[in-house]
Amino acid sequence: MSRALITIHGAADRSRAAQLLAQVPAGTRVEFKKAKRSLPQNDLLWGRLTDVSRQLEWHGRRLTPADWKDVFTAALRETRVVPGIDPGTFVALGLHTSDMSKDEMTELLDLIDAFAAQHDIELSDHRGEEQHEQLQATA
């Protein structure tokens, strides 16, 4: 076996992981990670990014939802910026949201909520407090 992924939900999953661990050859890499963001979190993220994109001009420009994802992720992760290969260009490092845990995604969504409130952006997909709590509970 060259690759395996087990999400631990209970004793049977722990037992399967232990069996696999006992059988892997030396030099095998084992990685433990918190659960990644959920699909409802991802859907909520892109809905909010679209709302911000449609309602706010940023320093004289309209940004795409993907651009806004980079802006918010950079703010959340205090992203580093380095000069690009071509003169006058810059590259932001570490902007991937696909590797975010559920907790990190919750922080990102909270950051977007706060930003939207400060800039009078109406979030069409904003869920009531009860639904937001349920979403966080799945984190």
**Digit-coded pLDDT (tens) for 94-111:** 778 887 888 889 999 999
Cα–Cα distance measured from residue 10 to residue 13, given in angstroms and rounded to the nearest whole number: 6
Strand partners for 57: 62
At residue 93, the pLDDT reads 84
Q: Is 34 helix (H, G, I), strand (E, B) or coil?
A: coil
Query: Where do you find CATH 1.10.3790.10 in the chain?
Result: 35-137
pLDDT per residue as tens, the chain (139 positions): 678 888 888 999 999 999 999 998 898 888 888 777 888 888 899 999 999 999 999 999 999 999 999 999 988 887 888 999 999 999 888 778 887 888 889 999 999 999 999 999 999 865 544 445 555 555 4
Burial string for 63-72 (b: 16+ CB within 10 Å, else e) reads bebeebbbbb
Q: What backbone torsions phi and psi does residue 85 show, to the nearest 5 degrees?
A: -70, -40
At residue 127, the pLDDT reads 56
At residue 40, the pLDDT reads 87
At residue 79, the pLDDT reads 81
> Topology of domain 35-137, per CATH?
NinB fold (1.10.3790)
Residue whose structure tokens are 């990644």: 36
pTM, whole model, 2 decimals? 0.63
Cβ distance 105 to 45 under 8 Å?
yes
